[in-house]
Structures are given as C-alpha cells and as structure tokens.
Amino acid sequence: MPPDLLDAGTDDGLLGGYDAGAFFDEMLEPGGGVRPHYGTVADLLRRLGPTEMDRLARMRDAIFRTSGITFTVYGDEAGDGAERTFPLDLVPRIIPHDEWQQLEAGLIQRVTALNRFLDDLYCGPQSAVRDGIVPRWLVLSSEGFRREATGLAVRNGARCLIAGIDLVRDADGRYLVLEDNLRNPSGVSYVLENRTTTTRLLPEAFANERVRPVDHYPLMLLGALRHAAPGPTSNPTIVVLTPGVYNAAYFEHTFLARQMGVELVEGRDLEVDDHVLYMRTTRGRRRVDVVYRRIDDDFLDPVVFRGDSTIGVPGLMGALRAGNVAVVNAIGNGVADDKSIYPFVGELIRYFLGEEPLLDQVPTLLCWDDDHCDEVLRRLDELVVKPVDGAGGYGLLVGPQATRAELEDFRRRILADRRGYIAQETVSLSRHPTWVDGALAPRHVDLRPFVVTGERTEVLSGGLTRVALREGSLVVNSSQGGGSKDTWVLEPDHARTAPGEAR
C-alpha cells in the first residue's frame, strides 16, 4: 500500500484525492496514512471503482426498500409524515478493541450512576438533591420529572433499562459524551439491519476481519425485560407498546417485537382490570407482566397524565403501583436526560460510585445561571444552543453557521426562558470517508452506543454511527438529513490479514 493515500498522483482508486482536512479523521492519520485497523477496508476501497460503488449503493437501496427499513420525517420540504428509507453509507466505521474497552467501561459507569440517581430520586431519600449534588429546584422544575412516579419501585433499581448515550470525537480524537437518552432511545434496529446489509454487500471485508457480532441484541434485550418482571413469574408475558403506524420509529417497534418473539400492541389492545394489565387476544384475555413502552410519559395513562391521550392505557399507573406490571423504561427518566442536568453527571458518578468519570463531557453553559447566560449571549455566534428537552436535532442553534436573524431570534428565546436552554462549545466533530455523489468525501459523525441493564449492565458492541450527509453540517440526526454507518468493533485478537491470506 502506498504510504500516502492522499497523493492524488498515485493509483489509489476511491481514496485518491480524499481531503482529510483539519478535523480528526476516523480512517486516516494526520500524515495521510491509513490507520492500522482500517487496513482491510482501505484495501477494498482502493480496488473498488466508482461504477462498482454505485452498483452496491443501488443494491443497498433496493434491499432497504424491499425490507421496509424506513423512518418518518415530519415537517420537512416533502411534507409532514414523509416516509423514507434509512440512509446507510457503504463505508463502515471501525473501532479497535482497546479503544472500545475504554468506551465500554465509561458507558457502564455512566449508566450505573444515572440509574442510582433516578432510583434515589423516586424511591430513595433523594440524597443527591439533599446534599446539593444537583439543585433541588432544577430537578423539580424539569419537564421530565414525574411526581406520579414517586415510590414506584423498579427491580434492581434499573429505571433506565435501555440507554442510548451519544458520543462525539473532538479534534484531538478524544471521545466526549454529548447527551444522554434515557426515555425511549431509538436506532438499535438500524444497527442490526446495517450489519446484515453490509455483510451482504461487502462479504470480502468481513472475511478478512474479526468483527464483534450485534445480532444477539434482541436476546440481550429480551433477557433484561424478563428480569424486570415483577414477582416470581418464570415465563413473563412481554409486549412492545407502540403509538401506532404513524410514529417515526414504527419500523423499529415492529422489528424489535418480531426479533424478540413478543407481541406488538397499541393502547387499545390492552386493558386494566382490578389493577392487573391484560392483552386482548383472539383466545381471550392474557395477563401482561412487562411493557416495553415506546410511548412518552404524557400519553401512557389518560387517567393520570394527559386526559386526551388515545394511545395510552387507562389504569396502567394503578397496575404499576400495585406491583402487578413493569413498565420499561421507567416513568420519570426524562429528568435525568434533561440537558440542564447533564453538566452534573460527573459529580453524580463521584457521589454514587466514588469514582472519577471515565468519559469526559462537552463543556456546557447553563442559561439559568447569570454568569453563564452573560457568556452565552456574548458568544452566541460561537456556541451550540439547545432546548433542554429537545430531541432529533430540532430547535437548536449552531452559532458558527447561523444567520444574524437566527442569532437574534435565539437571543430573545433565551432571555424569555433561561431555564429552557443550555449552550455547549462547538465540537469539531470527527469525520469519516463517506460515499456521496459518486466519490468519497469527509462527513461528520457521532456514535450512539446502546446500554442494557438486566442482571448486569452490558453494552452492545459498536452502536449506531450517525453521519451528517450534508457537506459541513454538524447535525447527524436522520430527521435533519443524516444517515448512518455500520459500526465494527474488532475482536481483541484482531490482526490484519491481507486479502487472500489464510488466517
């Protein structure tokens, strides 16, 4: 292999002329050489020409259309509720084993501390707020805090049974936690489908790599859901509760239910009788022990929360309080992924676990703090401003890319609701070669690993790498035009094998 793949004068196939730029590049070293763990994939890309890559891209699109691998975008130029195939880039992201080990330990530590915080808040003495680790008023004013969940015990304190922790990599290649998703994190179905499709399209690459599998996730999740069941039930009945076909993540709901071998239900399929939850079936009623809900708290039970909800289950909170059913993730988790709580997670790790955080966070300013707010308003064109309860890349301001009118609009928003916004330093997100318009081009990426807490806390190897397909964009969300990559975690005994060489 030539030592410098950026030398356009060499015959390097698709990588010739690729400009890594000033950002940390996942595949290429600063001098232009390929990072060792990308060797096999780089060899393959050098042998593939644009015609073959385009052919593979068409095959990918056909596979996704046939399989119905879609998501729904609301409020874009295509009109509300536009269903699209989920964009998968053909070039995988690769994480070496030692790097993954460090990430895995940090993710387990973080989710463990967040579970301890949530359980302390809802079922404990609220020691973290009592001792001033997190301001009490901040917790009580959070839209994600649910007083109705006070005293609702969760087995093993695993209130956040499934977590999606968003990570980014800065200009120095350092991983940082960008935000926590502890309510209904989505995207894991695309992790599994991406792997299936990439294996089919690039079998030669897998033949020369030792990549950790991801297809065991449904069994991992099923085991954790069974463990969450109340009482001594040996074979609990589990259902996936969906808002319905018009939900943006409906494909994932159906996918996970099918893969776990459990029923996919809507609120109208369930009823509560004498504080026991039942599912209506063609053979009569069947008791339900665990609900993996993909419905927000507000809509779960119209008797307790929003009375106009038509997708929830009347009386579900009563069955939950009676200890007759488990709801996963637990009600009230939104308080811990409120972005104004995020800056305190490091202290929560120290407080509950007596350990130093293994993962750093993005420097964050809290607009409710007078000094912080002054700095935010002064540096508005340098920062990323986010609503504390936002998701999907909606409602945020990327200061360096904003117009004067957008900056002034956000200045007014912040001053009108200082509790409602935080600001973060603009991270120079790492970039990765991505197949765009017939050529490899650098695009910004992040990573969402999925952490599951059952009898023990486990991390699915890799997770969902999201990629901002628009040039220069820092917003990777699919709802904002982003796509994804298959994420490979290499086995510990990985050693690069040349194509055709026996292992």
Q: What is the mean pLDDT of residues 86-105?
A: 94
Dist. CA 338–CA 345, nearest whole Å:
11
Tell me, what's the pLDDT at 329? Answer: 97
Domain check: are 248 and 377 in the same one? no
Structure confidence by residue, pLDDT tens digits, 186-210: 999 999 999 999 999 999 888 888 9
Strands 464-468, 457-459: parallel, antiparallel or unpaired by DSSP? unpaired
Domain check: are 246 and 218 in the same one? yes
Domain check: are 387 and 293 in the same one? no
Domain count, the chain: 2
Residue with tokens 């890559």: 53
Dist. CA 351–CA 342, nearest whole Å:
15
Q: What is the mean pLDDT of residues 356-384?
A: 97
Q: Count H helices, E strands: the chain?
A: 14, 23
Q: What percent of the chain has pLDDT over 70?
A: 90
Domain check: are 144 and 174 in the same one? yes
Lowest average pLDDT, out of 72-76, 116-120, 366-370, 432-436, goes to 72-76
Which residues have CB under 8 Å from 84's CB, separation 6+?
A: 70, 71, 72, 73, 78
Task: Assess contact for 308 and 302: CB atoms under 8 A.
Answer: yes
Task: Assess contact for 192 and 137: CB atoms under 8 A.
Answer: no
Domain check: are 302 and 276 in the same one? yes
In the predicted structure, residue 137 carries a pLDDT above the cut 70: yes
Which neighbouring-strand residues pair with 264? 240
Residue 393 pLDDT class (50, 70, 90 cuts): low
**Residue that is last in its domain, among 353, 382, 401:** 353
Structure confidence by residue, pLDDT tens digits, 214-265: 999 999 999 999 999 998 777 999 999 999 998 988 999 999 999 999 999 9
Which spans in 243-369 are helix H? 250-260, 297-300, 316-321, 345-353
Residue 475 pLDDT class (50, 70, 90 cuts): confident
Region class of 28: left (phi > 0), else alpha (psi between -120 and 50), else beta: beta
In the predicted structure, residue 11 carries a pLDDT above the cut 50: no
Asked, for residue 502, whether it belongs to a domain, the answer is no
**Residue that is last in its domain, among 310, 332, 353:** 353
Domain check: are 346 and 368 in the same one? no
Domain check: are 226 and 325 in the same one? yes
Lowest average pLDDT, out of 256-260, 297-301, 451-455, 480-484, goes to 480-484
Collapsing DSSP to helix, strand or coil, 96 comes out as coil
Average pLDDT, the chain: 90
Residue 478 pLDDT class (50, 70, 90 cuts): low
Domain check: are 349 and 401 in the same one? no
Q: What is the mean pLDDT of residues 311-326?
A: 97
Q: What percent of the chain has pLDDT over 90?
A: 74
Task: Assess contact for 158 and 314: CB atoms under 8 A.
Answer: no
Dist. CA 261–CA 105, nearest whole Å:
30
Domain check: are 246 and 332 in the same one? yes
In the predicted structure, residue 76 carries a pLDDT above the cut 50: no
CATH number for the domain spanning 244: value is 3.40.50.11290
Question: 322, 256, 253: which is closest to 287 by C-alpha?
Answer: 322
Tell me, what's the pLDDT at 416? Answer: 97
Domain check: are 272 and 393 in the same one? no
Question: 144, 141, 148: which is closest to 122 by C-alpha?
Answer: 148
- pTM value? 0.91
Q: What is the mean pLDDT of residues 467-489?
A: 83
Domain check: are 327 and 220 in the same one? yes
Structure tokens at 430: 């790492």
Asked, for residue 199, whether it belongs to a domain, the answer is no
Asked, for residue 348, whether it belongs to a domain, the answer is yes
**Residue that is last in its domain, among 378, 404, 425:** 425
Structure confidence by residue, pLDDT tens digits, 37-64: 999 999 898 888 888 999 999 999 888 8
CATH number for the domain spanning 417: value is 3.30.1490.270
Tell me the helix, strand and coil percentages in the chain, rounded to 5.
35, 25, 40
Asked, for residue 433, whether it belongs to a domain, the answer is no
- Other CB atoms within 10 A of residue 11 CB: 8
Asked, for residue 373, whether it belongs to a domain, the answer is yes
Q: Which helix (H) or strand (E) holds 280?
A: strand 276-281
Domain that holds residue 413: 363-425
Residue 178 pLDDT class (50, 70, 90 cuts): very high
Asked, for residue 167, whether it belongs to a domain, the answer is yes
Asked, for residue 280, whether it belongs to a domain, the answer is yes
Asked, for residue 72, whether it belongs to a domain, the answer is no
Domain check: are 265 and 396 in the same one? no
